[in-house]
A = this chain, B = another copy of it.
Amino acid sequence: MAGGARQPGRSVTSRVLAVLGAFDADHAELPLTAVAERSGLPLSTAHRLVAELTAWGALTRTAGGSYRVGLRLWELGQLAPGSWRELAHPWLQELSAATRENVHLAVCDGTEVLYVEKVHGRRAVPIASRVGGRLPLHTTGVGKVLLAWRGAEFVHTYLARELERPTPYALTEPGRLHRELEEVRRRGWASTAEEMTLGSCSLAVPVRRGGGASGRVVAAVGVVVAASRTQELPRLLPALLRTAEGIGRGVAGGA
């Protein structure tokens, strides 16, 4: 009865992609059985595909026998359109040097924050954001900025679902969040106080296409500090605004 129970209608390509899709930030390293489970493939199918992907370099095998994304995919990934990163990097480097803190740039992708660049030095505390990573809009400084300028309909839809609550301080009630977003729009900046990660606070401002105060908000730039240094955040606002202005002015064309 071998081969008798195959799943019809699913292409090989979709299976290969399902294998790749099994990996994410919380599952960066997976044993074969987990790859099979997460990709919805029978063990031996997963095994065949994983072997070929590994031979090519898309996956790599760890010393412990698990698999993770391989160097070749990383190299390939670097070819993806990176104008945001290229444009923002030098500005973020200078902001990082000026503040000695974590700084990052994010865009809104779907209903999440997507971090496209981050710069930090040795003194900066470890934070949750990661280049290529995603976090909720409502619990992050950059996310609140992106949400605040996204439009009533988007906000309405976003708030209609059950919101993540990574810490007890996260705002998840629609009413409170609405007011918070109004405040963000009025002030021109957003902050978080241990809403994403205990021990971390952030400040973020919008990046507007073309700079100035009226361009469309296309990204957000933020700084994250240890909660013990939260009183420093207001002092960082001017530098943050200058960075956002500089990046925004470079966006006139595409991105």
Residues of A within 8 A of B (CB): 11-14, 16-17, 20-21, 23-25, 28, 49, 52-53, 56, 58, 60, 68-71, 73-82, 89-91, 93-94, 96-97, 109, 114, 119-122, 124, 130-133
Contacts and interface: CB of A to CB of B under 8 A. Distances in A.
Contact of A78 (B16, B90, B119, B130): B130
Contacts of A68: 79-81
A117 to B, nearest CB: 11
A74 B69 contact: no
Nearest to A71: B80
B97 A121 contact: yes
A155 B91 CA distance: 40
B79 A76 contact: no
* 4 A-B pairs with the lowest CB-CB distances in the bound complex, closest first: A77-B77, A78-B132, A97-B97, A74-B80
A132 B94 contact: no
Tally of this chain's copies: 2
Contacts of A80: 60, 68-71, 73-74, 77
Given A90-B121, A93-B97, A122-B91, A79 B25 contact: yes
Contact of A79 (B13, B28, B56): B28
Contact of A76 (B23, B89, B114, B131): B23
Which of A80, A82, A96, A130 is most buried by chain B, counting CB atoms within 10 A of its CB? A80
Contacts of A13: 12, 16, 49, 52-53
B74 A78 contact: yes
A67 to B, nearest CB: 11
Contacts of A91: 122
A79 B16 contact: no
Contact of A122 (B24, B73, B81, B94): B94
Given A68-B79, A93-B96, A14 B52 contact: yes
